[in-house]
Amino acid sequence: MKRARHLAEQLTVDELVRYGPLAHAEMLVGENLARPVSRVTLVSELDQVRRCGPGTAVVLAAGLAHGAWAVESALRLAWERSAACLVTPAVPGLTQATAQLGRRMRLPVFIVADDPAACALELAAAIASPDAARARLAARCAELFTERSGVRGIVGVINAEVPGVTVALLAPDGHVLAGHALTDRGAQQLVRVDVAGPDGRHWAELVASVAGRPSPTWAETVRLILRLARAPLAASVARERVDAVRDAERGRAALAAVLAAAGPCGQPGRVGEPGDPAASAAPGGAGQAGGVPESTLGWRLGGRHVAVFLRTDPALDGAAAAPGVVSAWQEVVPDLPLVPWEAGWASWWTGDDVEVGQVVPALRRALGRMRSPVPLSGGVGRAAPGPEGLRESLSQAVLAAGVTVREGHGAVRSFDELGYTVMLASLAEPRLVRSARVVLADLLSAPDGPVLVATLAALLDCANSTSQTALRLGVHRNTVLGRVERIRARGVDLDRPDQRLALHLACYALLPGLGLA
């Protein structure tokens, strides 16, 4: 029983290379490093190699290895005895032919510059106490974790230092945040450790794929190293979020200054009206953003711009999700800014030939690839030159996004495409919402009141066509007919033209607050 336990805790050649006595040896042949090492034998005569058992690390004494022929002879004998590896002092005549022989036999060969006897003693000590050797590996990883500032760097330490292990940091949906994608191999054991975010809640999972069939002791060592990485990962994520918030606020102030410098804008619904950040920001030059040089921000303010504006469901906490949204955007569109603005996030495409027809599909693809913490939809403004054009385009994008937020995640519409219907995006004003709740009180009191309001809005959008309404809502026409009957039963007269406009406005004022935006 003790013998079986000892075999289960054997070190591999790879482990001895990574953090053992072979760490500073020259690797002449690096084949088959996953072999377990059960014992060490220092041989001074070739005949002694014949008495070595499987899994032996054969170390050639200085007196024996006095030529390449002796090393090659020992290599053949070690291969015949299924040795784990061969360690030799540096001798003249070792050439690529010797390395080629070792590769054909798939037997690791190492050259040590120091006394082979001392190397044999160190190997024996490591093999006799695998736990101590693995504890040194864990300590080294813990030290390296403190020297890395990013998530990828911390995960990279494990992949670089822990032998035979491939590690990935996975999001709850399985997306690889850092590390290497794991392949599904039945011969590999997976070691999993939960990673909490800065708020203490589950954020991701560290998953290590351990090659071969590891011993319970080695699997537990890998688990220990993954646990040691959790605190540095949480600290790194916290730093990244703080940096994202700082940069976002810096960008918000800079964009406000740029738009304020572009000139006053007194038309309703435009960026720059009273209460807007741009209205109270100190103006800067056209090539400056709040006194920050354009080159420092990485923004290009000259040329032709097409602004985009991203929004999420008003019922969600967009402010709390802001760092995650900015991070997800930078991962997919790293060369474009994303600045918190009003109730969403602003960005813009810039180029001498940029057109709305290029930006709309590009934004749709970006939203499809983003791993945003909240659902997003986007509006796109017209193309216009300079800071003044950026201001105008962003105003249009904000209005367009107010419409797309009702269409769900990934929806992207341009200002020109929507036409005058963009005005409906500005109807969620508190006083209008209160009035709409009074006017449609009977309809809202129905068990399916919110669904009836959404159906009424779609029906009015489609000029009372039940077929088009069914197509828009994705339901059968008979379902729409049933809802229309219930709407009429609640006192809504759809046949009076003088009431349709008021009904339409009331529905659009209520939709965001009903969670149907």
Q: What percent of the chain has pLDDT over 90?
A: 18
Whether 219 and 263 share a structural domain: no
| Residue that finishes a domain, picked among 199, 216, 238 | 238
pLDDT at 511: 77
CATH number at residue 301: 3.30.70
Give the CA distances from residue 485 to residues 453, 488, 504, in Å, rounded to whole numbers and listed in that order. 13, 5, 18
Predicted confidence band of residue 195 (pLDDT cuts 50, 70, 90): confident
**Residues paired with residue 170 on neighbouring β-strands, in sequence order:** 176, 205
Confidence check: pLDDT of 366 > 50: yes
Confidence check: pLDDT of 306 > 90: yes
Convert the pLDDT of each residue in 474-486 to its tens digit.
Answer: 999 999 999 999 9
| Residue that finishes a domain, picked among 101, 128, 155 | 128
Whether 32 and 110 share a structural domain: yes
Quote the CA–CA distance of 39 and 10 in Å, as a whole number: 9
Domain that residue 338 falls in: 243-425
Whether 290 and 395 share a structural domain: yes
Predicted confidence band of residue 264 (pLDDT cuts 50, 70, 90): low
Tell me the whole-structure pTM to 2 decimals. 0.52
CA 449 centroid distance within chain: 39
Q: How many residues does the chain have?
A: 517
Phi/psi of residue 35, nearest 5 degrees: -65, 135
Whether 495 and 508 share a structural domain: yes
Number of domains making up the chain: 4
Contact by Cβ (8 Å): 473, 480: yes
Phi/psi of residue 36, nearest 5 degrees: -75, 145
CATH number at residue 79: 3.40.1390.20
Give the CA distances from residue 396 to residues 99, 274, 306, 325, 415, in Å, rounded to whole numbers and listed in that order. 69, 17, 10, 22, 6
Whether 438 and 466 share a structural domain: yes
Whether 486 and 346 share a structural domain: no
pLDDT at 476: 94
pLDDT at 139: 87
Confidence check: pLDDT of 170 > 90: no
Tokens of 431: 């006083």
Confidence check: pLDDT of 146 > 50: yes
Whether 457 and 435 share a structural domain: yes
**Residues paired with residue 274 on neighbouring β-strands, in sequence order:** none
Whether 199 and 215 share a structural domain: yes
Whether 23 and 112 share a structural domain: yes
Convert the pLDDT of each residue in 68-114 to its tens digit.
Answer: 788 888 999 999 999 999 999 888 777 788 888 888 999 999 998 88
Quote the CA–CA distance of 487 and 110 in Å, as a whole number: 84
Mean pLDDT of all residues belonging to the chain: 80
Contact by Cβ (8 Å): 517, 457: no
| Residue that finishes a domain, picked among 93, 128, 163 | 128
Predicted confidence band of residue 271 (pLDDT cuts 50, 70, 90): very low
Quote the CA–CA distance of 75 and 73 in Å, as a whole number: 5
pLDDT at 8: 44
Whether 419 and 438 share a structural domain: no
Radius of gyration of the chain (CA): 34
Whether 247 and 320 share a structural domain: yes
Phi/psi of residue 225, nearest 5 degrees: -65, -40
Whether 313 and 443 share a structural domain: no
Quote the CA–CA distance of 368 and 330 in Å, as a whole number: 14
